[in-house]
Amino acid sequence: MEQRLSLIQQSSACLHNLINQPDALAEEYARANKDLRNLSASMDLINQFRANKEGSLVPQSQELMPMRTTISILLL
């Protein structure tokens, strides 16, 4: 699961880089922007999951279970 989350983050970073390139074609920019918008909810969940996981003394706590379920659904 961690590997898939990292791949989503890498995809988001690549899309950000493409959008920030001044010589990007309009079609590439539009597609990257659309893909980035689609990933934004997933990125928010991943960041929230990782923040809770790192801040928790017990990573398997009940507060993380709904978030883990949601992330698992996103990864299907």
CA distance 69 to 41: 15
pLDDT of residue 11 exceeding 70, the answer is: yes
Owner of token pair 């959008």: 19
Range(s) of the domain holding residue 12 = 2-74
Which structure tokens are listed for 63?
A: 């507060």
AA letter at 49: F
- 27 or 1: which leads in pLDDT: 27
More confident residue, 70 or 19: 19
CA distance 75 to 5: 8
Residue 8 has pLDDT above 80, yes or no: yes
Q: Residues 26-73: pLDDT tens digits?
A: 898 899 999 999 888 888 888 888 887 765 544 455 555 566 666 666
Measured over the CA atoms of residue 48, residue 52, residue 54 and residue 59, the dihedral's sign is: negative
| Integer Cα distance of 70 and 31 in angstroms | 26
Q: How many distinct structural domains can be found in the chain? A: 1
